[in-house]
Amino acid sequence: MSFKRADLDFANLDFSYRKVNANIRYYYRNGKWDGGTLTNEEYFPLHIAATCVHYGQAIFEGLKVYETKNGDVVAFRPVENQKRMVKSAEKLFMARVTEEIFLEALDRVVNANKEFVPPYGSGASLYIRPLLIGISPHIGVKPSEDYLFMILVTPVGPYFKGGFKPVKMLVVEDLDRAAPFGLGDVKAAGNYAAGLRGYFRAKENNFTDVIYLDAKERKYIDESGPANFIAIMKDGTYTTPQSSSVLPSITNMSLRTIAKDDFGWKTEQRSVAIDEITNFSEAGCCGTAAVITPVGEIRYRDKDYKLFDQGRTAGPKVTQLYERLVKIQLGEVEDTRGWLRKIEIK
Ligand SMILES: Cc1ncc(COP(=O)(O)O)c(C=O)c1O
């Protein structure tokens, strides 16, 4: 696709907000969505009593748009994000953003910011952040009647600038991000505030992030703050926690499919006890941002468990998974499952 790009060093961008041309906003009032408006305004008016501010009626999503090898501008599995946003909305008694509106908003906002879609080969992407907030004023605890759905986009650089290197994770037993019957399985904004304590605990102790255990028994692995956990067991099985307080990751779902159908590996989604750590040969954290961050070392109860190559290099299976998914995303390997949604650039 040949269109003019912004004068940016795409390969060296970091993961931070950068002003672009426009964001898009759809209002839900009197039980229906309006036609949506593109705007270059970065602020929005909000009532002082809006439910998003007082009572946390705020949910979001995260996905990426980028250019493939043949020059198409694509989004990776955006309908999965839309479906997850509906699940989040249902759990928080919010209005549902339909697939039609979600995809229309995506097409419009990407077109309005096409010069910020990083070129193929830069490793960068246009990060897409759909947001849904309750905007009706209420002083008592009750759901909003009106909603605002927005998508902001911003170009972000490649995640692994220093190479695909393993990180160290810290298992915490005195912090939780979500409860078994709470909101951990949806993308509620408050979950991320709840994860800040864990993040800073990890940083203070020179770890990349924490791994949370299940809040009830403190026995099973849940996930890390912003990513699912996967282990490659010593027998080669791809194992990932099944838990009601874990966000169903679209990356994890895709990697499981690749592991099972493309590589013929055994995969399982089940309760994974932290005591099984001695049976892990490799591990990783997976999510949109990094696809997979290899985990080389895990500290649990003051003991350091080193995985593949004593935690010095990424394991072969985690690397194989990472490379295959990235190649599918970039159109370097055929997308046989229709995971890439092309965005027509006008
Ligand atoms: C809590 C949490 N877990 C896992 C993930 C990974 O999900 P996905 O692969 O859909 O980006 C994310 C990121 O969205 C997250 O916030």
pLDDT digits (tens, 9 = 90+) for 247-263: 999 999 999 999 999 99
For residues 267 and 260, what is the distance between their CA atoms, to the nearest angstrom? 6
Q: What is the pLDDT of residue 1?
A: 57
Helix (H, G, I), strand (E, B) or coil at 267: strand
Same-domain status, 232 and 309: yes
**228 CA distance to ligand 1 middle (Å):** 6
For residues 202 and 344, what is the distance between their CA atoms, to the nearest angstrom? 42
Q: What is the pLDDT of residue 254?
A: 98
Residue 183 Cβ inside 6 Å of ligand 1? The answer reads: no
Q: Counting every residue, how long is the chain?
A: 346
Same-domain status, 41 and 117: yes
Residue 206 lies in a domain: yes
Residue 250 Cβ inside 6 Å of ligand 1? The answer reads: yes
Find the domain containing 175 and state its range: 167-329
User: Half-sphere exposure of 6 toward its Cβ, with a 13 Å CA cutoff?
Assistant: 19
Taking only the tens place, the pLDDT of each residue in 314-339 is 999 999 999 999 999 999 999 999 99
Burial code (b: 16+ CB inside 10 Å, e: under 16) for 61-90 equals: bebbbbbbeeebbbbbbbebbbebbbebbe
Q: Is 187 a catalytic residue?
A: yes
List alpha helices for the chain, DSSP H: 51-55, 78-91, 99-112, 189-194, 196-204, 250-257, 316-329
User: Measuring CA to CA, which residue among 245, 215, 211 is closest to residue 230?
Assistant: 211
Residue 226 Cβ inside 6 Å of ligand 1? The answer reads: yes
Cβ neighbours for 190, distance < 8 A, ≥ 6 positions apart: 56, 58, 183
Residue 345 lies in a domain: no
Block means of pLDDT (10 residues each) for the chain, 346 residues, are 88 95 98 98 97 98 98 98 98 98 98 98 97 98 98 92 89 97 98 97 96 97 96 98 98 98 98 98 96 97 98 98 98 98 97
Beta strands in the chain, from DSSP E residues, in sequence order: 23-29, 32-33, 37-39, 58-60, 63-67, 73-76, 125-134, 147-156, 167-172, 209-213, 221-224, 228-233, 238-241, 267-270, 280-287, 291-300, 303-306, 340-342
Q: State how many domains the chain has.
A: 2
Select which of 19, 187, 260, 303 is catalytic.
187
Residue 343 lies in a domain: no
User: Measuring CA to CA, which residue among 115, 92, 88 is closest to residue 102?
Assistant: 88
Same-domain status, 177 and 272: yes
Same-domain status, 296 and 224: yes
Same-domain status, 231 and 270: yes
Residue 288 lies in a domain: yes
Give the residue, out of 177, 221, 230, 249, with the most ligand 1 atoms within 8 A of its beta carbon, to mutate for a pocket test: 249
Same-domain status, 42 and 112: yes
Cβ-contact 132, 149 below 8 angstroms: yes
Residue 223 Cβ inside 6 Å of ligand 1? The answer reads: yes
For residues 185 and 207, what is the distance between their CA atoms, to the nearest angstrom? 25
Report the nearest-CA residue for atom 15 of ligand 1.
226
Residue 287 Cβ inside 6 Å of ligand 1? The answer reads: yes
Same-domain status, 171 and 303: yes
For residues 118 and 156, what is the distance between their CA atoms, to the nearest angstrom? 8
Report the nearest-CA residue for atom 3 of ligand 1.
227
pTM over 0.95: yes
Same-domain status, 84 and 18: yes
